[in-house]
Amino acid sequence: MKLKTRRLIMIGFILAFFIIAPILIFYASGYRIDIKREKVIKTGTLMMDGKDIKKANIYINDKLYDEPFTEKIFIYNLLPGDYQVRLEKEGYYPWAKKISIYSNLTTFAKDIILFKKELPLSIIDGQIVALTISPDSQKIVYLIDTDSFWELYQYNPNTKENFFLARFSPGKRSSLDITTSSKKVLVNIDNKYSIYDIENQKSRVDLTEIINFLPKNLKWDLQSDNLLFAYYKNAIYSIDIFGKKNEKIFEIKNYNINPEFYVEGKDIFYIQQENEKNILYKYNQNFYTTKKILELPKSENYQFIKNSNNYLGLIDIDQEKLHLIKKINTDSEINIIGSDPIKEFSAKSAVWDLDGKQLLIYDDFEIYIYNPNSGEENIINRYGQPIKKALWYSNLKYIVLQFENSIQIIDLEISNGTHAITEIIKSAQISDFYSDKEGKNIYFNGIIDKSGGLYKLKLK
């Protein structure tokens, strides 16, 4: 090869290098030519993560991405704009979101969950009268109608063992209340109470051995498994199970008080019924003092909301109104902040999240979330059928709603102007439901295809 030819080839390679190298650097740095905008633009990145998700297909604007999703993935070099992103896996409900990508930024889609698409599994056959799950999700306690009797059982979801606890004569109304420690259950059948140790199935406490009256309301102390509080004839009593004794804390002489009350620390909140109105009071056991908190319209049915934060919640069930009152907890007394206005909401029920930072509020047809720190009220949805029950899902990014014949999971993040809905149970007559602590399973009392009992639905 001649010298001139070799020089021309070398010059060609040098020119190619100076032409191609900037283009490669240009692309490697995330720049692209946006034909629609007719300009060079810096791309963005999408990061997605979801625990326990394996080999799910990713679709971006309905086009299958060349790499499957397993727990975490970065998708680089996306032009700025909106994308319809979808995850699909056989045996699971799809996850879909409208995601906005921005120039030179990473957009995050975190804590993605693919819910299993399964049929409910029958655990217990029969007519369940009452059902509850322990705070640690390790015990399900239920009353079942056996025609001649009501029988009390404890079911262990992990071992699938079913322990018989007691047998009762059938009643008209019943409830079950498990202590915060998940060790004992309070059984109420027509205001006749008994206590069972659900860790030691043979241990039973008959309250008639401790008290000589039938309380109209009975509640566990939030800290102790051996202390109960009772309402009877305008008085509040403490009941020491271990010491087998009871003591009258206070009594109202001139007015009636409502059976509903709430005990936190050394304070007892109660509702005094007067001629034209009701009044919410607080009695302190340390100082033996009574303080007026709030005047209420005349009603008969109330419910206090359990909480561990700086708010006292009281629902007027007859008026479907929630009163939210700011308070400060001290070692000796709970102080009500009079300078803070009392918030009122339309509600038939409400539940705090596990951190006590957000309140899920609902009436028959509307559900929304209130954040007391920011003061924001976010409406989730309005429905054409009554909401029976609502709970927070374990990661607080979803809520679970019960209707007459279905259970739905609602994604709290808005996509395409709405909240994504996954109907996990349908065509079932549902009486009540609970989710376990980790959000892996839902347990419900209901009827499917004329077969009633306790059912389990696996979510993850």
Q: For residue 132, report the phi and psi dihedrals to the nearest 5 degrees.
A: -155, 160
Q: For residue 202, report the phi and psi dihedrals to the nearest 5 degrees.
A: -90, -10
Confidence band of 12 (pLDDT split at 50, 70, 90): low
CA distances from 31 to 39, 81, 106, 259, 307 (A): 10, 15, 15, 69, 52
Q: Where does residue 63 rank: exposed (0-12), middle (13-18), buried (19+ CB within 10 A)? A: exposed
Residue 58, H or E segment: strand 57-60
- pLDDT higher than threshold 80 for residue 33: no
3-state secondary structure (DSSP) of residue 11: helix
Q: Is residue 244 part of a domain?
A: no
CA distances from 201 to 41, 154, 163, 198 (A): 69, 9, 7, 5
- Per the confidence metrics, is the pTM higher than 0.85? yes
Q: Is residue 52 part of a domain?
A: yes
- pLDDT higher than threshold 70 for residue 10: no
Cβ atoms 427, 386 nearer than 8 A: no
From CA 108, how far away is CA 100, in angstroms rounded? 10
Cβ atoms 272, 257 nearer than 8 A: yes
3-state secondary structure (DSSP) of residue 392: strand
Q: Is residue 451 part of a domain?
A: no
DSSP-assigned letter for residue 207: G
From CA 238, how far away is CA 247, in angstroms rounded? 5
pLDDT per position as a tens digit, 228-238: 999 999 999 99
- pLDDT higher than threshold 60 for residue 192: yes
364-396 in b/e burial notation, b at 16+ Cβ within 10 A?
Answer: eeebbbbebeeeeeeebbeeeeebbbbbbbbee
The domain that holds 105 is classified in CATH as 2.60.40
Q: Is residue 90 part of a domain?
A: yes
Residue with the two structure tokens 């625990």: 51
Q: Is residue 442 part of a domain?
A: no
3-state secondary structure (DSSP) of residue 17: helix
From CA 418, how far away is CA 435, in angstroms rounded? 24
Q: Which residue has the higher pLDDT, 184 or 104?
A: 184
Confidence band of 329 (pLDDT split at 50, 70, 90): confident
Cβ atoms 205, 194 nearer than 8 A: yes
Residue with the two structure tokens 């014949």: 405
Q: Is residue 82 part of a domain?
A: yes
Residue 222, H or E segment: none
From CA 407, how far away is CA 401, in angstroms rounded? 6
Q: Strand 217-220's sheet: what is its strand order? A: 217-220, 227-232, 235-240, 245-251
Q: Is residue 132 part of a domain?
A: no
Q: Is residue 75 part of a domain?
A: yes
What's the domain count of the chain? 1
Cβ atoms 313, 323 nearer than 8 A: yes
pLDDT per position as a tens digit, 370-429: 999 999 999 999 999 999 999 999 888 999 999 999 999 999 998 878 899 999 999 899
Residue 354: predicted pLDDT: 87
Confidence band of 306 (pLDDT split at 50, 70, 90): confident
From CA 191, how far away is CA 232, in angstroms rounded? 11
Taking all residues of the chain, what is their mean pLDDT, rounded to a whole number?
89
Contacts (Cβ under 8 Å, ≥6 apart) of 67: 58, 73
Domain containing residue 63: 43-109
Q: Which of 428, 411, 405 is nearest to 87 (CA)?
A: 411
Residue 18, H or E segment: helix 3-28
- pLDDT higher than threshold 50 for residue 26: no
- pLDDT higher than threshold 50 for residue 119: yes
Cα 31 to chain center, whole Å?
Answer: 44
Tokens matching residue 239:
């009941």
**Sign of the dihedral defined by the CA atoms of residues 351, 193, 141, 433, in that order:** negative
Contacts (Cβ under 8 Å, ≥6 apart) of 200: none
